Amino acid sequence: MSALALDRQGWLKPHATVTLAPSPNCDKRPRGVEPTLLVIHNISLPPGQFGGPEIVDFFQNKLDYDSHPWLDRLCGVTVSAHFLVRRDGQVVQFVSTDERAWHAGVSSFKGRERCNDFSIGIELEGTDTEPYTDEQYETLQSLTRALRARYPLSAVWGHEHIAPQRKTDPGPAFQWRRYARESQWLLRELPPLA
């Protein structure tokens, strides 16, 4: 896979694996705040189903809640992430990395509240328990390198680590040590590993 790169506005440059799908669910970061934290999530809509349009539609406020009984519980929810990495390694970008995506919710990182202010959110298409694909790890490592080249990122944690009472993703299926090795992210910058 050739390297991913960001343009001056915080969007991924054209690439065979990249789709841009801007979400309205974002706003400005606080003045003078740059992202220093990378947050890894997972998502599948409906749960456990992959490859459909529902995730993109959800982040763009276009979800057909009647298409599946489970989706009705998301009615009125407005969220986003900066990126989605599909099972085949394709990446969808929803929000410029210069802006604040609404991915973390009530959260805290080392005593600092409101993680959306200073983080970049990456959703992996998956579940807590189903293994992520080789293509996803490959894309994630390329994306990590592109983000570290642009921003002073100092840590990467899971949603489960910044919102432990509410969230469980990316879950036990995510191989933190593999991600650290392949992305050349130092282990000391990862959450505590069991």
**Active site (catalytic) residues:** 123
DSSP structure string for 118-183 = GEEEEEEES-SSSPPPHHHHHHHHHHHHHHHHHS---EEEEHHHHSTTT---S-TTS-HHHHHHHH
CA atoms within 13 A on the CB side of 160: 16
Comparing C-alpha atoms, which of 157, 118, 125 is closest to residue 139?
Answer: 125
Comparing C-alpha atoms, which of 59, 52, 42, 139 is closest to residue 94?
Answer: 59
Using an 8 Å Cβ cutoff, are 157 and 40 in contact? yes
Structure tokens at 139: 């894309």
Looking at residue 56, what DSSP letter applies?
H
How far is the C-alpha of 123 from the C-alpha of 41, rounded, in Å?
5
